A and B are shown apart, each in its own frame.
Chain A
Amino acid sequence: MASTLDTEPEDPTTGTPPNAGTQTGASIAISDVTVAYDSPDGADTPIDAVRDATLEISAGSIVALLGPSGCGKTSLLRAVAGLERPRTGSITIGGRVVSDSHTWMQPERRNVGMVFQDGALFPHLTVAQNITFGLRGSANKMSKRARTKQVEEMLHLVDLDEFGDRLPGTLSGGQQQRVALARSLAPQPSVLLLDEPFSALDAALRLQLRAEVARIVRRIDVTTIFVTHDQDEAFVLGDQVAVLRDGRIEQVGTPDDLYRRPNTRWVAGFVGEANLIRGRFDSAVDGATPHEHVGEPNNTSGVQPNSLVANTLLGPVPLSTEQGRAHGDVEVLVRPEQVELRPGDCALITDVEYYGHDVRYELQLNDGSILAARATSSELYENGDRVCVRFSGGPTEAWPTAGSAHSCRPLPTDFRIG
């Protein structure tokens, strides 16, 4: 992976794109960016789509902007492309400021490729003409022969060798998106932006194309930002994932960070399913004086000495945070797969969803609260079975109890669409 291009000598006035010719990613720095739209027809107050976003992206990495629809992720992407001018803040690509309060580089000079949700292939041009489209710009003029060669390479890269003479209208949705990818990569951009490029495709095709795109993007080492509302997609493709909510970046981290150590309850519920279980902070050194709970009384599995522990209905749960220590009452994040089931009489199974590799159960505990659990399918329970539950897993997150929360409630889990 190449370092950032700050050191490359370049004339800031000509707008020559950085590293034209060599295909290497550029680092991106977004700081305090706010993007606002005029509210449609009438009202004077602009609507903020993105507020004070700050994000550092190292050269060659893949970053996912993840969030529910309308959270501002596409606006942030468009600001990087230069299709939207931020009201405040600055954006730097490859060490060069492309946007701040007194600099504005036009999109065609940023050396940025973008694949739109709808592919945006030019319907009046053939596949090959679409791909060469960006090779005629003054920034990277190519000889005719070089262009032909580049088209062949790009078609090969996206596995559409024989399709050069076809018109976009005759291609399937997945093929169109691959041509769109080839077109955006042909001018050898230093940054590739993908705006929900798979969302218009059906599920099977989406999986296949996403793997293919990941392979291509990693191979050519271009810095990539992609927008998605699909948590799986973000986790599978992204080196880093930035979770956006209502125009703000809630958390940035590796997929594992986000899953295991979410900053907020909202992130916890957005990336995967989350049970929030009421507990009481207990800093007892041995953690061996459990309060009343429904699990097996003497089991302290997963709780190491000297660690932070909360006592819950599921027994003692190791914590990775001191948040809420002063408060005493906390809500503990328990992922469904961290709930271990065994025969007993502490909870009733009210729902079973069989997925093959695992099974999701919904349980009603004796105090009436609902809990989600996931277990391998090797030991199956049925609807109406009675079981006992306990926590099983590594240290997890907790937050001070807010108001009168239920003792245990799964967050709304399915923000994912499709």
Chain B
Amino acid sequence: MPRAARSAFTPNRLLSIVIGAAFAGPAAFVVWRTLRLGASLPDTLAEVPAPLWRTIQLAVLVSTTAAVLGTGLGWLTTRTNLPMRRVWRIVLVLPLVLPSFVGAAAFIAGLAPGGIIHDALDVVGIDAPRRFRGLGASWLVLSAFTYPYVMLPVMARMVGLRSSLEESGRLLGLSASATFLRITLPQLKPAILGGSLLVFLYTVSEFGAVQLLGYDTLTRVIYATRQTNRALSFASASVVLILALGVVALERSQRGRVTPDERASPLPSRTIILGWRAIPALLACLFVAGIGLFVPLLSLGTWARRGLADGRVSLSDLVDPAISTATVAVTAAVLAVIVVLPVAIGSIRRPHPTSRIASVFVIGGFAIPGLVIALALAVMTLNTPLLDRFYQTMGLLVLAYVIHFGSQALAATETAVGAVPTQLRDSAKLLEPNWFRRTWRVDLPLMRPGLAAAGGLVMLSTLKELPITLLLSPIGFSTLATEVWSSYEEGFYAATGLASLVLVAISALLTWVLVLRNSEAVSS
């Protein structure tokens, strides 16, 4: 690395500062705005505790459930002789492809007269519950779709865990269950904590599902009061923001002092023989996959089939939304990668405080709920004389996506930058003096897999995104997600079902390409 380049403000560093500021902007604006609307602060603060308490209740319940389910299922599918465990390892991760608002809609539609759950209960002779809403319903739906966030890292950790640790525990006098508690669980702690944190954040920023299920969390308050009582809306947004960042900080400090195990490659683990316990284990897997995957898909499928049969909906209705979804998702993906690239280059090639701060801001974006970003950008543009023409334009919509999902692109982009080591770039410099041709012939081909992964992740998140799209999309612009939303609000379940299935099919395809195909280590 040339010494001459050590001046504090290289172009790349300046760029990193600008990008970091852009990512931190919405959050800063929300807090600043809340403080400036201080006149009504005492009044609004009186209205926050109740929804805050409901949000915390739900988030704690859901993340605890996800931690237990994810750990248990991760253990079952990697360490025991559970029948068909290769299949389960994939099936049990699949609930990830269902956006939670789609899942909520599927349950409500399924319980409505004519829905599959309603009819199935009817056959058994039970009346379907009239109302499916509130804390219990939100807990069930969100848990069923978020536990894979814990299960995936637990599975990865289990595979790398040396069975000699557990065997040592046994030989030192612990029973099998005590060994699990005192040896295995502490080893899994970082994976469980990290996964549960994601679920907690997901629940705190969840908008669509709680809105459909009528559970008044902070996000619902933000949305409902965004025009009528802006002070309350911003105060709630600030509280959500502080809650999210506080939890991230708490998790970082609790991660524990377990150093990653880098000793000799792990010995093959012994499979635990379940015996008769295979039957309850299978039933548990079937139950979880049923709630998280089969029942919602069947429910959506039934309504869609009915609508297609009597001609009230057709796939051609979805061509336009599908095209706009694809367009906006691809644009956001490409832009996100381009935007985080300078930050990634800075933090990989020339680590410096500025690039580190910039990458912290970009990564911090994952903790900021999409609704908060949307609210901030909407109010910022509407109230600023020259910017107001950007409100509800494609540009602003894509910008919001990039800020919200840039964090997902950063890690993969850093991998891509790391794929071109310094020596390689140096030798390329000697062989091909032209910067442009060198980039084209050497850097880009090597970085392509990482960049594609980064873009793919952003794409996947964008197509499932709801609150930003609802608040910021241009009039008349609809994506598959908003199609699901609006048809549900009209009570048109057949259209909800069809749009959901198309959305799920596309995101399942992307998930398969991005996640499952790349985690062959886990599934082998």
Does A81 touch B at the CB level, under 8 Å? yes
Closest chain A CB from B476 CB (angstroms): 54
Does B242 touch A at the CB level, under 8 Å? no
Q: Pick the contact of B259: A110, A116, A169, A187 (CB < 8 A).
A: A169
Beyond A107-B170, A134-B173, A184-B171, is A117–B267 a contact (Cβ under 8 Å)? yes
Beyond A108-B175, A118-B162, is A83–B170 a contact (Cβ under 8 Å)? yes
Q: Check B168–A120 contact: CB distance below 8 A.
A: yes
For B162, the chain A residues whose CB sits under 8 A away are: 118, 120
Beyond A108-B173, A187-B173, A200-B264, is A116–B167 a contact (Cβ under 8 Å)? yes
Q: Pick the contact of B173: A124, A137, A169, A173 (CB < 8 A).
A: A137
Within 8 A of B (CB), among A341-366: none
Q: Check B172–A183 contact: CB distance below 8 A.
A: yes
Does A369 touch B at the CB level, under 8 Å? no
Does A113 touch B at the CB level, under 8 Å? yes
Q: Check A108–B167 contact: CB distance below 8 A.
A: no
Q: Check B171–A107 contact: CB distance below 8 A.
A: yes
Closest chain B CB from A252 CB (angstroms): 25
Q: Check B256–A124 contact: CB distance below 8 A.
A: yes
How many angstroms from the CA of A169 to the CA of B270 in the assembled complex? 24
For B272, the chain A residues whose CB sits under 8 A away are: none
Q: Pick the contact of B174: A108, A117, A140 (CB < 8 A).
A: A108
Does A271 touch B at the CB level, under 8 Å? no
For A140, the chain B residues whose CB sits under 8 A away are: 173
Does B257 touch A at the CB level, under 8 Å? yes
Q: Check B257–A120 contact: CB distance below 8 A.
A: no
Closest chain B CB from A85 CB (angstroms): 10
Within 8 A of A (CB), among B155-172: 162, 164-165, 167-172
Q: Check A114–B264 contact: CB distance below 8 A.
A: no
Closest chain A CB from B173 CB (angstroms): 3
Does B47 touch A at the CB level, under 8 Å? no
Within 8 A of B (CB), among A116-152: 116-120, 122-124, 133-134, 136-140
For A110, the chain B residues whose CB sits under 8 A away are: 171
Closest chain A CB from B408 CB (angstroms): 30
Q: Check B258–A123 contact: CB distance below 8 A.
A: yes
Closest chain A CB from B238 CB (angstroms): 37
Which residue of A has the minimal Cβ distance to B271? A38
Q: Check A120–B165 contact: CB distance below 8 A.
A: yes
Q: Check B261–A123 contact: CB distance below 8 A.
A: yes
Does B359 touch A at the CB level, under 8 Å? no
Q: Pick the contact of A122: B170, B183, B267, B270 (CB < 8 A).
A: B183
Q: Mask for A91-121, Cβ within 8 A of B = 1, else 0?
A: 0000000000000001110101110111110
Q: Check A138–B259 contact: CB distance below 8 A.
A: no
Does B445 touch A at the CB level, under 8 Å? no
How many angstroms from the CA of A118 to the CA of B169 in the assembled complex? 14
Q: Check A107–B167 contact: CB distance below 8 A.
A: yes
How many angstroms from the CA of A238 to the CA of B242 in the assembled complex? 65
Q: Check A118–B263 contact: CB distance below 8 A.
A: yes
Does A167 touch B at the CB level, under 8 Å? yes
Does B491 touch A at the CB level, under 8 Å? no
Does B186 touch A at the CB level, under 8 Å? yes
Chain B CB count within 10 A is highest, among A108, A117, A140, A183, for: A108
Q: Check B172–A137 contact: CB distance below 8 A.
A: yes
Does B187 touch A at the CB level, under 8 Å? yes
For B173, the chain A residues whose CB sits under 8 A away are: 108, 134, 136-140, 187
Chain B CB count within 10 A is highest, among A110, A116, A120, A139, for: A120
Within 8 A of B (CB), among A179-227: 183-184, 187, 200
How many angstroms from the CA of A125 to the CA of B261 in the assembled complex? 13
For A106, the chain B residues whose CB sits under 8 A away are: 170, 175
For A119, the chain B residues whose CB sits under 8 A away are: 263
Closest chain A CB from B63 CB (angstroms): 22
Q: Check B261–A108 contact: CB distance below 8 A.
A: no
Q: Check B263–A81 contact: CB distance below 8 A.
A: no
How many angstroms from the CA of A235 to the CA of B277 in the assembled complex? 46
For B189, the chain A residues whose CB sits under 8 A away are: 124
How many angstroms from the CA of A334 to the CA of B444 in the assembled complex? 65
Q: How many A-B residue pairs have CB under 8 A?
A: 82
Q: Check B167–A120 contact: CB distance below 8 A.
A: yes
Q: Mask for B225-259, Cβ within 8 A of A = 1, else 0?
A: 00000000000000000000000000000001111
How many angstroms from the CA of A293 to the CA of B498 in the assembled complex? 94
Q: Check B164–A123 contact: CB distance below 8 A.
A: no
For A117, the chain B residues whose CB sits under 8 A away are: 164, 264, 267
Which residue of A has the minimal Cβ distance to B257? A167
Which residue of B has the minimal Cβ distance to A173? B263
Closest chain B CB from A296 CB (angstroms): 53
Q: Check A114–B168 contact: CB distance below 8 A.
A: yes
Which residue of A has the minimal Cβ distance to B170? A107
For B172, the chain A residues whose CB sits under 8 A away are: 108, 133-134, 137, 183-184, 187
For A200, the chain B residues whose CB sits under 8 A away are: 263-264
Chain A CB count within 10 A is highest, among B189, B259, B263, for: B263
Which residue of A has the minimal Cβ distance to B165? A120
Q: Mask for B131-173, Cβ within 8 A of A = 1, else 0?
A: 0000000000000000000000000000000101101111111
For A81, the chain B residues whose CB sits under 8 A away are: 167, 171
Chain A CB count within 10 A is highest, among B167, B169, B183, B258, for: B167
How many angstroms from the CA of A116 to the CA of B173 in the assembled complex? 16
Which residue of B has the minimal Cβ distance to A183? B172
For A187, the chain B residues whose CB sits under 8 A away are: 172-173
Q: Pick the contact of A124: B170, B187, B270 (CB < 8 A).
A: B187
For A139, the chain B residues whose CB sits under 8 A away are: 173
Q: Mask for A367-400, Cβ within 8 A of B = 1, else 0?
A: 0000000000000000000000000000000000
Q: Pick the contact of A137: B164, B167, B174, B267 (CB < 8 A).
A: B174
Beyond A123-B259, A167-B259, A200-B264, is A113–B164 a contact (Cβ under 8 Å)? no
Beyond A120-B162, A122-B183, A123-B258, is A83–B174 a contact (Cβ under 8 Å)? no
Q: Check A124–B258 contact: CB distance below 8 A.
A: yes
Which residue of A has the minimal Cβ distance to B268? A40
For B164, the chain A residues whose CB sits under 8 A away are: 116-118, 120
Q: Check B171–A112 contact: CB distance below 8 A.
A: yes
Beyond A117-B267, A167-B257, A167-B259, is A122–B171 a contact (Cβ under 8 Å)? no
Q: Mask for A163-177, Cβ within 8 A of B = 1, else 0?
A: 000010100010000
Chain A CB count within 10 A is highest, among B172, B257, B263, B264, for: B172
Which residue of B has the minimal Cβ distance to A113? B171
Closest chain B CB from A244 CB (angstroms): 19
Q: Check B167–A122 contact: CB distance below 8 A.
A: no
For B174, the chain A residues whose CB sits under 8 A away are: 108, 137
For B267, the chain A residues whose CB sits under 8 A away are: 117-118
How many angstroms from the CA of A272 to the CA of B217 in the assembled complex? 76
Which residue of A has the minimal Cβ distance to B266? A118
Q: Check B187–A123 contact: CB distance below 8 A.
A: yes
Within 8 A of A (CB), among B49-70: none
Which residue of B has the minimal Cβ distance to A134? B172
- 28 residue pairs A–B, Cβ–Cβ below 8 Å: A81-B167, A82-B170, A83-B170, A106-B170, A107-B170, A107-B171, A108-B173, A114-B167, A114-B171, A116-B164, A116-B167, A118-B162, A118-B164, A120-B164, A120-B165, A120-B167, A120-B168, A122-B165, A122-B169, A123-B258, A124-B186, A133-B169, A136-B173, A137-B172, A169-B259, A173-B263, A183-B172, A200-B263
* Given A108-B170, A122-B183: 6 more A-B contacts, CB < 8 Å: A107-B171, A114-B168, A123-B261, A124-B186, A124-B258, A138-B173
Q: Which 7 A-B pairs have the closest CB atoms?
A: A137-B173, A134-B172, A120-B164, A169-B259, A116-B164, A107-B170, A124-B186
